[in-house]
Amino acid sequence: MTTPTAADPPGIEAIRAFPKVELHVHMEACLSAERIEELAAGFGIPMLRPIESLFVYATLAEFLEVYEWWCDLLRTAEIAEQLAYDAAAQLSADGIVYAEVLCGPRYWPHLRREPLIEALAAGLERAHGDGHADCRLTPSISREQSAEWAMGLVEWLGASGPSRVVGLGLDGNEELLGRTSPKFTEVYARAAELGLGRTAHSGESSGPDGVWDALEHLHLDRVDHGVRSIEDPRLVEHLAANGVTLNVTPTSNVITGLYPDVDHHPVGPLMAAGVPVTINSDDPKAMNVTLSGEFEKVSRSLGWGLGEVAAATRRAIDAAFCDQEKAASLHRQVDDHVRGLTREPAGKDHHP
Would you count residue 86 as binding ligand ADE (CB under 6 A)? no
Q: Which of 16, 201, 222, 297 binds ligand ADE (CB under 6 A)?
A: 201
* Least distance (Å) between residue 1 CB and ligand ADE: 40
Would you count residue 296 as binding ligand ADE (CB under 6 A)? no
Would you count residue 282 as binding Zn ion (CB under 5 A)? yes
Q: CA 254, CA 275: separation in Å to the nearest integer?
A: 21
Would you count residue 296 as binding Zn ion (CB under 5 A)? no
Would you count residue 294 as binding ligand ADE (CB under 6 A)? no
Q: CA 201, CA 203: separation in Å to the nearest integer?
A: 7
Would you count residue 282 as binding ligand ADE (CB under 6 A)? yes
Q: Are 222 and 192 in contact (CB under 8 A)?
A: no
CB atoms within 10 A of CB 303: 12
Q: Are 185 and 217 in contact (CB under 8 A)?
A: yes
Residue number of the CB atom closest to Zn ion: 282
Residue 300 sits at the vertex; the CA angle it makes with 294 and 303, to the nearest 5 degrees, is: 120
Q: Would you give the end-to-end CA distance of the chain in angstroms?
A: 22
Q: Per-residue x/- mask for Zn ion, residues 228 to 267, rule CB under 5 A?
A: ----------------------------------------
Would you count residue 213 as binding Zn ion (CB under 5 A)? no
Would you count residue 252 as binding ligand ADE (CB under 6 A)? yes
Q: Are 150 and 180 in contact (CB under 8 A)?
A: no
204, 294, 296, 308: the catalytic one is 204
Q: How many residues bind ligand ADE (CB under 6 A)?
A: 10
Would you count residue 100 as binding Zn ion (CB under 5 A)? no
Would you count residue 26 as binding ligand ADE (CB under 6 A)? yes
Beta bridge partners of 246: 223, 277
Q: Which of 75, 82, 84, 69 is nearest to 43 (CA)?
A: 75
Would you count residue 297 as binding ligand ADE (CB under 6 A)? no
Q: Per-residue x/- mask for ligand ADE, residues 6 to 25, rule CB under 6 A?
A: --------------------
Instruction: Return the SS3 of 166.
Output: coil
Residue number of the CB atom closest to ligand ADE: 171
119 contact choice in Zn ion, ligand ADE, none (CB below 5 to 8 Å, kind-dependent): none
Q: Which of 221, 283, 294, 308 binds ligand ADE (CB under 6 A)?
A: 283
Collect all residues with Cβ–Cβ distance below 8 Å to 311 and sequence separation of at least 6. Answer: none
Q: Are 201 and 172 in contact (CB under 8 A)?
A: yes
* Least distance (Å) between residue 265 CB and ligand ADE: 14
Instruction: Return the SS3 of 99.
Output: strand
Q: Is 323 left (phi over 0), alpha (psi -120 to 50) or beta?
A: beta
325 counts as catalytic: no
86 contact choice in ligand ADE, Zn ion, none (CB below 5 to 8 Å, kind-dependent): none
Q: Which of 24, 57, 46, 37 is nearest to 249 (CA)?
A: 24
List active site positions.
204
Q: Which residues bind ligand ADE (CB under 6 A)?
A: 26, 29, 60, 171-172, 201, 204, 252, 282-283
Q: Which residues bind Zn ion (CB under 5 A)?
A: 282
